[in-house]
Amino acid sequence: MTTRKIIPVAVMILIIAAASSIFFLERRKVSASVCPACDREMHEGWTFTLTYKNGKKVNLCCAKCGLVEAAQHKSEVMSATATEFNTRKALAPEKAVYVWDSSVDHCMMPEKRDWTDRQPMQLVWDRCIPSLIPFETREEAVQFQHENGGTVVDYAEAVQLARPSSTSHH
């Protein structure tokens, strides 16, 4: 191969390598900010944090993911913290009052696109939908409900509603 032919090939290889590097670096940035339970983007000010007995802290995208994950790993979880809707401050989940299935769905996004066998599938349960939004007081939850619909529930009801078997198909 002549030098005249080698230079364009080398340039093309460098361009492909640079583009691939950028793609993988961008993908790593996105993957660092996704919920480990549902693979959706994390929402600033919405996190639900679980602290495990081994000291590990895990941030999840919403109260629904947090309650489901806490229930699934109950024996391993030491504590949990929800984010209050209005103030965005940390709140003990068992002290919160929740609004279930309002018109506010901060986790709403298209159904998962990359199925393992590349075949279409029907989504029958979505971890994040219907929404479950924590409030510090019943008054705040009721005011939000009047503006956005939904049902005001306490912690025990929220835990039951968040379970996969108790939600309707979506």
Domain boundaries, the chain: 34-110+124-166
Whether a cis peptide bond, with omega within 30° of 0, leads into 134 is: no
- The mean pLDDT of 111-128, rounded to a whole number, is 58
Closest CA to 99 of 64, 74, 55: 64
What is the spatial distance between Cα 3 and Cα 38, in angstroms, rounded to a whole number?
A: 52
What is the average pLDDT score of the chain? 81
* Whether pLDDT at 113 is above 70: no
Sequence-ordered list of residues with C-beta below 8 angstroms from that of 162, at least 6 positions apart, any chain: 63, 64, 67, 68, 71, 132
Q: For a pLDDT cut of 70, what percent of the chain falls above it?
A: 72
Q: What is the pTM of this model?
A: 0.69
- The mean pLDDT of 110-120, rounded to a whole number, is 55
